[in-house]
Amino acid sequence: MNQSGLSYNSRKALINNIGESAGTEISNLINELVAEVEELRRTKVTITRIVPGANHDSPELIEEPV
């Protein structure tokens, strides 16, 4: 099973060191960021630009988010 986000121990350490409210807020933010990164990785596409008059001997591969 691929675990994403903070483990129970990491979340507990945050809560113990900076308080329940702040620790929970940071933990939730990290979990949301992890979910967003996973979504971006899953939907990433590769775009090859075709530019008229460009040197066709060495095609340039450009990866951009969509």
Q: Give the pLDDT mean for 8-22.
A: 93
Whether the CA torsion 64, 32, 29, 17 is positive or negative: it is negative
Q: Which two tokens stand for residue 19?
A: 């308080």
The domain total for the chain is 1
Q: Which two tokens stand for residue 35?
A: 């979910």
Position 60 confidence tier, pLDDT thresholds 50, 70, 90: low
- Domain of 26 in residue numbering reads as 1-66
d(CA 38, CA 35): 5
CA distances from 37 to 4, 10, 16, 25, 28 (A): 10, 19, 27, 18, 14
CA angle, 26 then 4 then 19, to 5°: 20
Position 1 confidence tier, pLDDT thresholds 50, 70, 90: very low
In tens, the pLDDT along 19-59 reads 999 999 999 999 999 999 999 999 987 777 777 765 555 55
Return the pLDDT at 46.
76
pTM for the structure as a whole: 0.60
